[in-house]
Amino acid sequence: MNTAVGFSIPCRACGQFGLRNVLSLGHTPLANALLTREQLKQPEPTFPLDLVFCPACTLLQITESVRPEQLFGEYLYFSSFSDTMLAHSQNLVERLIAEHSLSTNSLVVEIASNDGYLLQFYRQRRIPVLGIEPARNIAVVARKRQIPTICDFFSLALAKQLRRDGKRAGIIHAHNVLAHVPALNGVVAGMRELLHDAGCIVIEVPYARDMLDRCEFDTIYHEHLCYFSLSALDRLFARHELTIYRVERVPIHGGSLRLFIAHAASAPRSRPSVARLLQEEDEWGVDKPERYRSFAARVERLAEQLRDLLYGQKNRGRRLAAYGASAKGSTLLNYLRLNPGTIEFVVDRSTVKQGHYTPGTHLPIFAPEQLLSEMPDCVLLLTWNFAEEILQQQAEYRQRGGIFILPIPEVQVV
């Protein structure tokens, strides 16, 4: 990482200048912009993908902002296709219902509610819900599941309108969405506006410290504008008179933070879990540019190791495929820049992705059953964050002699 100032743009959170270069992944296509066969013949737009660090508030962020409408107007990620995500969400919902004594008089709102994967568990308990989801195609699916859904981007203006309509949320969920937000302060201000005086905001974000320590560079893509430490989040919410009063580290998505947030006036004065993790981050060096300096070199070493393994398998006459037409898979494949034909195809459980092609690398996407019909020798597991679930689902492929290659946090053959 070059510690000299690299970009004359302000930090997305605190507005300060002086951002420091961390890693450049070059120009890449949008990670979820899957292609149809007809689109393969058309020029494919690419955008710079550069990661920088704000010494003032410790926020990691990318420099490029692609229009949200271009990223999320039509979206092909449906949370309900993951059994792990469903179980994770149901367990959290049951816990919050008990902790907050939620009832038919409560209101639970989820920002970026996707297909209703989480809110459905509240609805099953007859607790009123409201989803806010900008992707038109996904909002339609949620409504078919009887999840009331506003098709829009969440903002302070929308929060004020909901409040004028008499809506105040006892619980606001925002899972894996805060990283996608270009106007961080506007969205946080909107949460404060919509939150009941005694309410709770529950947020989950991938943890920047885990990303760096585990070399999870494939989580960097244009939808993820920010990569959060607790230190950065604590400053962000305090700016809006909101207090993070509890934090938990959860393993999903390669390591995430789960935050519990309340109005500063009503939040518990004691917050031991927050104090502990802030101290850990301070000792780790969260505000020190040198902590980030080695990341780029470690990314390149991992990529070289993975290339050598894949080319070695190919040179021995083995056929290679991949599992997971995911955003992180797009980042990984485009960064590897493998020779055409090294990987023959990708499989994915999502029926809405099947029949498309991967961005940049143009690999055809099939159903997982293609692994059994084609029996490639090796499968690169691009959705390594769901490795346990996928390896169980692919027990027959493995019993027939197929092997999986896990790329992150270190290259493994299983």
298 falls within a domain: no
Domain membership of residue 68 (yes or no) is no
| Position 92 in a domain | yes
Q: Same structural domain for residues 27 and 98?
A: no
Same domain, 125 and 166: yes
Nearest to 188 by CA among 105, 259, 289: 259
pTM for the whole structure: 0.86
Contacts of 116 (CB under 8 A, 6+ apart): 80, 123, 131, 141, 142, 145, 147, 149
> Does residue 396 share a domain with residue 359?
yes
CATH code at position 206: 3.40.50.150
- Token pair in block for residue 302: 């991992």
Shared domain for 232 and 102, answered yes or no, is yes
Report, as an integer, the average pLDDT of 326-331: 95
pLDDT tens profile 10-65: 999 999 999 999 999 999 999 989 999 999 999 999 999 999 999 999 999 999 98
Is the same domain home to 46 and 165?
A: no
251, part of any domain: yes
- Tell me what pLDDT residue 365 has: 98
Confidence band, pLDDT 50/70/90 cuts, at residue 71: low
Cβ neighbours of residue 14 under 8 Å, at least 6 residues apart? 54, 56, 57, 59, 235
For the chain, counts of helices (H) and of strands (E): 15, 18
Sequence-distant (≥ 6) Cβ neighbours of residue 302 within 8 angstroms: 215, 217, 407, 408, 410, 411
pLDDT tens column, 240-283: 999 999 999 998 877 899 999 999 999 998 999 999 999 999 99
pLDDT digits (tens, 9 = 90+) for 94-123: 999 999 999 999 999 999 999 999 999 999
Q: Encode pLDDT of 172-198 as tens digits.
A: 999 989 998 989 999 999 999 999 999
Q: Is 37 part of a structural domain of the chain? A: yes
Q: Write out pLDDT tens, residues 203-222.
A: 999 999 999 999 999 999 99
332: domain CATH number? Answer: 3.40.50.720
Examine residue 303 and state whether it is found in any structural domain, yes or no. Answer: no
Q: Name the pairing type of β-strands 226-227 and 60-62.
A: antiparallel
pLDDT at 6 over 70: no
Please tell me the distance from the alpha carbon of residue 224 to that of residue 178, in angstroms, as a whole number. 9
φ, ψ (nearest 5 deg) of residue 200: -135, 135
Same domain, 117 and 148: yes
* Nearest CA-CA partner of 129 in 138, 117, 295, 141: 117
Structure tokens that stand for 79 in this block: 């949370």
Helix (H, G, I), strand (E, B) or coil at 406: strand
In a domain, 67, yes or no: no
pLDDT band at 68 (very low <50, low <70, confident <90, very high): low
Do 95 and 106 form a contact (C-beta atoms < 8 A)? no
Structure tokens at 179: 């990283």
Which is nearest to 45 in space by CA: 71, 63, 23? 71
Do 94 and 158 share a domain, yes or no? yes
Q: Say whether pLDDT at 91 is over 50.
A: yes
Classify residue 10: in a domain, yes or no: yes
Name which of 116, 219, 253, 232 is nearest 184 in CA terms.
232
Q: Which of 260, 292, 324 is the last residue of a domain?
A: 292
pLDDT at 171: 98
When mean pLDDT is compared across 72-81, 188-197, 333-342, the lowest value belongs to 72-81
CA distance 349 to 86: 15
Which residue would you say has higher pLDDT here, 113 or 74? Answer: 113
Least confident range of 3-12, 16-25, 312-321, 399-408: 3-12
> Considering its fold, how many domains does the chain have in total?
3
266 and 121, same structural domain? yes
**Pair (99, 154) in one structural domain:** yes
CA separation for the pair 110, 129 (Å, rounded): 8
Residues 28 and 107 in one domain: no
Averaged pLDDT of the chain: 93
Same domain (yes/no): 388, 244: no
Residue 206's domain comprises: 79-292
Give dist(CA 383, CA 327) in Å, integer: 9
Which of the listed residues 261, 292, 323 is the one where a domain comes to its end?
Answer: 292
